[in-house]
């Protein structure tokens, strides 16, 4: 398959509620494509997912029939074409149109290939006038279209953060996400690591986050990743582990551990001394977690398969980390498909699940122990309001510290929330 057909097949599979990164990695491994083509696939999938609503709005302006009734494969072919025409300057216009026509012919026949050809040839930066088309719309509708987010979410963010901040968050989510790396102190130290030529252009963070740096040189860092000297992790995710601050020799329970970045970071903070029970419902994810720990030369992680609401670790924990399932509104630039899967109804379902998980964690924690609750969400129902409700249900817990980051509020940082509770003695 060509790069564009691979991208199309990935988009179709993601439409069946699969996670974009998992589908992307699996299909690229099977594709046999060269490095440059693999990079093009990643760009096409990520960009088309992000700009899906905007692409649909534009296509509907030029589509002669009822676009809502078009076949899913046709919609994704058109979206891929429009994304390339309007957002990828390096792709020649002829290539964007002709390759889309070839896909339409292969998947939908000659008739619809002619439709795709005629429609895409009408679309360009000169014929698309989003500002004019959105001039009479509300701020919620306008931002939804121009930044390609669900209107209900843009409305929430405007109401909570104001128009300027909301638009900055929306714009940030359409930028290429920064790649953060965590230094494995079990294998190296920062001074030694940053003397390497591969890290000459890296941006090393300071103070409590000195374990982390940002770099755009992924290829140069591949050997260090394979050796387990560094791991890919955004520093926002690391903040929850630093908040937990597990002691060497202690017992830690990571209730929703996959893909394992937080478990392995806590093990590094503990000097690989103690015990970490890392739980996830997926056997495949648990297998990968164990493999990642081995690459990092971490031996204290016990990767277990099970449901956090019913699993019994058969011991009380000194520290529990609950990185709870959430809407993911702090990482929509990294996981674009979540824009189209999250809804007000889904939010309420997740809030109930988070509360049940917090109650379970409270039962499993030792007196005097630490519970850290974390999300990659910026929604108050999942964060501050969840904390307030938990404290009302559990008077034996007190809040010691919390951290909240908005997408883009610090260069390269994802949005997220974490709070540290302590269980009173007795």
- Please determine, for residue 53, whether its predicted confidence score (pLDDT) is greater than 90: yes
- Cα(16)–Cα(197) distance, integer angstroms: 43
∠ Cα 346 352 355 (to 5°): 140
* Token digits of residue 347: 């939010």
pLDDT tens digits along 191-248: 889 888 889 889 999 888 999 999 998 889 999 999 999 999 999 999 999 999 999 9
According to DSSP, the residues that pair with 422 across neighbouring strands are 370, 398
- Cα(294)–Cα(278) distance, integer angstroms: 14
Higher pLDDT, 351 or 259: 351
Sequence-separated (6 or more) residues with CB below 8 Å from residue 24 = 10, 41, 42, 45
**Strand bridging mode 416-423 / 397-405:** antiparallel
- Please determine, for residue 112, whether its predicted confidence score (pLDDT) is greater than 80: yes
Cβ atoms of 150 and 347 within 8 Å: the answer is no
- Cα(244)–Cα(270) distance, integer angstroms: 11
Domains, the chain, in order of start with CATH, read: 3-122 (1.10.940.10), 138-172 (no CATH), 234-423 (3.40.50.150)
Q: How confident is the model at residue 16 (pLDDT cuts 50, 70, 90)?
A: confident
Predicted local distance difference test score (pLDDT) of residue 103: 97
Predicted local distance difference test score (pLDDT) of residue 364: 96
Sequence-separated (6 or more) residues with CB below 8 Å from residue 33 = 3, 6, 41
Q: Just list the catalytic residues.
A: 376
Single out the residue of 393, 400, 339, 406 nearest to residue 165, CA to CA.
Answer: 406
Average pLDDT over the chain, rounded to an integer: 95
Predicted local distance difference test score (pLDDT) of residue 222: 92
The pTM (predicted TM-score) of the whole model is: 0.94
């Amino acid at each position: 398959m060509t790069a564009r057909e691979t991208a199309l097949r990935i988009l179709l599979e993601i439409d069946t509620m699969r996670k974009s990164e998992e589908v992307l990695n699996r299909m690229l491994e099977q594709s046999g494509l060269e490095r440059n083509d693999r990079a093009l696939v990643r760009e096409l999938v990520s960009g088309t997912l992000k700009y899906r609503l905007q692409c649909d709005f534009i296509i509907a302006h030029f589509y002669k029939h009822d676009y809502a009734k078009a076949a899913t494969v046709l919609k994704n072919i058109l979206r891929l074409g429009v994304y390339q025409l309007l957002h990828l300057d390096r792709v020649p216009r002829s290539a964007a149109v002709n390759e889309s026509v070839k896909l339409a012919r292969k998947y939908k026949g000659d008739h619809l290939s002619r439709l795709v050809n005629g429609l895409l040839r009408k679309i360009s930066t000169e014929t698309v006038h989003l500002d004019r088309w959105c001039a009479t719309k509300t701020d919620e509708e306008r931002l939804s279209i121009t930044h390609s987010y669900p209107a209900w979410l843009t409305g929430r963010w405007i109401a909570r953060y104001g128009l300027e901040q909301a638009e900055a968050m929306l714009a940030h989510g359409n930028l290429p996400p920064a790649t953060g790396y965590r230094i494995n102190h079990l294998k190296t130290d920062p001074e030694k690591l940053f003397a390497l030529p591969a890290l000459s252009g890296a941006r090393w963070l300071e103070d409590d986050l000195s374990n982390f740096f940002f770099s755009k040189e992924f290829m140069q860092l591949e050997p260090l990743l394979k050796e387990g000297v560094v791991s890919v992790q955004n520093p926002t995710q690391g903040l929850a582990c630093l908040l937990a601050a597990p002691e060497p020799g202690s017992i830690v329970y990571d209730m929703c551990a996959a893909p394992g970045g937080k478990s392995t970071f806590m093990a590094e903070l503990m000097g690989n001394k103690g015990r970490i029970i890392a739980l996830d419902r997926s056997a495949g994810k648990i297998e990968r977690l164990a493999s990642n720990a081995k690459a990092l030369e971490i031996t204290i992680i016990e990767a277990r398969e099970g449901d956090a609401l019913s699993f019994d670790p058969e011991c009380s924990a000194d520290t529990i980390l609950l990185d709870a399932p959430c809407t993911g509104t702090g990482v929509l630039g990294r996981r674009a498909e979540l824009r189209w899967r999250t809804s007000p109804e889904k939010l309420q379902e997740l809030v109930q699940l988070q509360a049940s998980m917090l109650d379970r964690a409270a039962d499993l924690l030792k007196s005097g122990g630490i519970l850290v609750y974390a999300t990659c969400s910026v929604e108050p129902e999942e964060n501050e309001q969840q904390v307030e409700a938990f404290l009302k249900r559990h008077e034996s817990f007190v809040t010691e510290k919390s951290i909240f980051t908005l997408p883009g509020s610090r260069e390269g940082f994802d949005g997220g929330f974490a709070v540290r509770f302590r269980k009173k003695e007795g």
